[in-house]
Chain A
C-alpha cells in the first residue's frame, strides 16, 4: 500500500511541477540553473527514491537544474564540530532546536527572506516563533518529534513504561544507548527527575553517575546503527526517535514503542541557511521546495517523523494521519533542549568523555590491570630474549 501510494505521489508531483507558485521570478530561478547547492542533513532523513518513493533531491535537480550536493551527519555535535573546525561549508543545514540556538548566538546563521519561501504559510502556527528563534527570522521547521523507548516484544518480558528499563540487569547486553551526549544525558536526567537544561554542575554529575552505572548492562552506543540492530533483533531495548520506530516497524513487526512516564525530549529540526552561504537564493528555493505539499508528504511518509506542515497533517491520504505515536492525543510530559552555557557544555563533554572511558566498577581495575600486567610480562620476555642473545654473543666472542 505504501509503495503504491509513494508511486502515486511521484506521478502527482511530476504533474504538479508544471504549475508552481513562486515568489522568485522565473528569470531569477532560471539564473540559478547550473549552480550548486550544498545541503547538510541527518542520515536517513530525506525521501531518497528507495522503494518507489519520491527522490526529493533528484526531483529538485530536475526541476530547477541546480545540482544538490548532499551530505549527512549523525548527530548535532559532529555537524557543529565539522562546520566549526573550518575546511567545509554548506548552504542549507538542518540542526535541532538547541543547536540552532547555539549557532544563532554565535552568528553562524543567515537571516531568511521569507518572501522567497511562500510555502512557509503551511507551517502549523504552534511550530512558529519557537524559543530558539523567537521572531522566526532564521529557520523553517523540517520535522518535529519526540524521543521514546523502542523495545522488542519477543525479547522483553513485559512492555516497559519507564526509562529505568534501560538500567535493568535482566536485559544485560541487549540494551542500546544514544551515542551523543545531549540525548544520553537527557535520559539519565529524566530518570533522576532533573531539568534537561540545568546549569548546576551537580545535576550533570549525578546524571553522569547514572550513565556510568548503565555501562554494565549496555551492549553498545549507537546513532543510526540502531536501525539494523533493532530490526534484526540484535538488541532488545533502545531509546530513539519516535519516527524512526515507525520506519523500523515496517521491517520488524515485533517492535513496540512507549513514551516513558518520566517524560521525553521534544525536538524540532529546522532548516537554516549558513552565514557566508554562496547560493542563498537557491537555498531558499530548496527550503520552499521542501515545504511543497507533495514533497513534504513524500518526506513524511519516508522518514516517518511528525510533520509541522499542515498540508501533510490534515491530509487524510497520509499514512500516519492521526497516528497516535506521532501525533499523540493524550499529552506526553516533554521537555525541550535549550542551548547550554559554554561552561556547562564543556563540562558535559568532559563528563561524556569520562563515561565513554569508564569501565564498570570491579571490571575496571581488573581489566586494565590485567592488560597492564600482560604487557609488562611481554616486555620482560622481550628484554630477556635480548639479554640472552647478547650474552650468547659475548660468550662466543670470548671463546
Chain B
C-alpha cells in the first residue's frame, strides 16, 4: 500500500517534471514577450504617457520617464469624456457590426463551398487548391492588389460599368469604404473556414446520412439534423477564433486605407493610429483602447463558452 503510494507520487512527480520541462519554452517566451508587455501596457493606461514624456535614449544621454500617474482618468475619458462618441463608441459599434458580418459571411460561404468540395466530383483537388489560394498569398500582397482593383477606374468599377451599375468610390466614400473592407476581409478569411469545415464534414460518418435517407429525411432535414450537429465542435472553435481574429483584424483595414478613412477604422487600427500614426503619439490612450478591446473579447469568450456548455447539456 505505502509502496504503491510512494510509487504513484514518484511517477506523477516525474510525469510533471517532464510536462513542465516541455511547456517551459513556451511559458518563458510568452511570459517575457506577451505577459510582461501586457502588464506594462496596463500600467501605461494609468498614466499620461506620450511619445514626448517617456524615457528614451538620445545619443549617450538617457532621458528618464517624466509621465505622471493619473489613475483611471484615461478610461473615464475614453468612455465618457467629451467627444467619446466619435472617438470610441462609433468605432465600437462599427467593430461589432464588422465582426458580425464578416464572421457570418466567412462561415456561410465557407460551409457552402466545403459542402460542394465534399462531394465526389472531377477536379475536386484542383478546386480545393485554387480556393485556398487567398490564404496562401501574404495579406499585404493581396490587399495591395485589391487596392488597385478598387481604385477609381480599377477592375471592380470597370466590371460594374460594363454591367451599367453605379460605381461607388470604394476608397473614398465612407459607406463604400466599409463595404470594401468587408468584401476584402471576406475574400481573405473564407479559405480558413472552408478547409476547417471540410475536415469537419469528412469526419461525419456516411452511415448517418444513409440512415437519415432510409428514414425519408429530406435534404434540408439531413442538413439540419445530421450535418449541423456533426459540425458542432468544429464550428464552435472556428467561430470563436474567427470572432477573435476579425475583431483584431489589423492588416486588412490598415493596408487598404492607410491613414485615410477615419470612419472605417475598427478599434484596433484606431488604437494603433493613436499610438503610432500621429505626433505626438499618445501611448496611454492607445494602450487604454487595447485593454478595453481585450476586456470586450474576454467577456464575449466567457459568455460564448458558457452558452456552448449549456447547449451541450441541452442536446445531451
A and B pair up: no
B interface residues with partner A (beta carbon < 8 Å) = none
